[in-house]
Amino acid sequence: MAWSRYVAVGDSFTEGLDDPYPDGTYRGWADLVADRLGAKYANLAIRGKLFDAVAVEQVPAALAMKPDLVSFAAGGNDVLRRHCDPPSLMQRYDGVIKRLRDSGADVLVFRFADVMARLPGNKMIAPRIQYLNKSVGETAQRHGAKLVNLWGDDEYANPALWSIDRLHMSAAGHRRTAAHVLTVLGLEVEPTWWDIPPWPARKSWPAARTADVIWAGKHLAPWIKRRLTGRSSGDGILPKRPTLD
């Protein structure tokens, strides 16, 4: 099947952080997939967006473009919040996927890869991610969406597939994700997109703790500050590809 109108909605995962073009804008797996499809393409994803913002702001805009393919990936930012209620979140998620499928479009949904092993709060957040991933599979089956199962790919345990902030994918991670998406769509994949960089050399305990301290100061502390002040990394950011034309 050929798709001619593809719209991507979501957060930083779909916006393309951290896979920069030479000019500093972001590419990411969705751009790679769109190039392979040769379809008219809009990417409405904005970093930091919570599920309800994606559902209210991006989904109606996507449907207005009358796509025949939509990728939907949201909820990852929600499970990082203390007061997240996963059952309620996934009930709303199910409704959004039904709405997208009722439009006649094919819909791509994602089981997220495991990033929490390298981040603080794993004991609290990992069960939420597992619940989300399980529910995504059930929703996909219920509504006939196409499931991209990154959770089932153990290669994402390789730190080289992730950026320095330990949360967003590197260029190699985005290429591998694009390969998964194209495989689910039944399309040919550039073989090198499956390539896995070598694992980084194991650091000594002192070097690893120093790296943790640097990471916390540069990435964790600003994230905590945004939570305390009610701000988002996506404030003031516009969609990078807001139209299909």
- The length of the chain, given as a count of residues: 245
Residue 116 pLDDT > 80, yes or no?
Answer: no
Residue 238 pLDDT > 60, yes or no?
Answer: yes
Q: Which pLDDT does position 199 carry in this prediction?
A: 78
Residue 215 pLDDT > 80, yes or no?
Answer: no
Residue 225 pLDDT > 60, yes or no?
Answer: no
| Strand 5-10, strand 69-73: pairing | parallel
Cα angle value 99/103/107 (rounded, 5°): 75
Q: Which pLDDT does position 101 carry in this prediction?
A: 98
Q: Which pLDDT does position 62 carry in this prediction?
A: 98
Q: Which pLDDT does position 220 carry in this prediction?
A: 54
Percent of residues, the chain, with pLDDT higher than 90:
62
Q: What is the pLDDT of residues 4-18, one digit of tens each?
A: 999 999 999 999 998
Q: What is the mean pLDDT of residues 66-87?
A: 92
Decide: helix, strand or coil at residue 28. helix
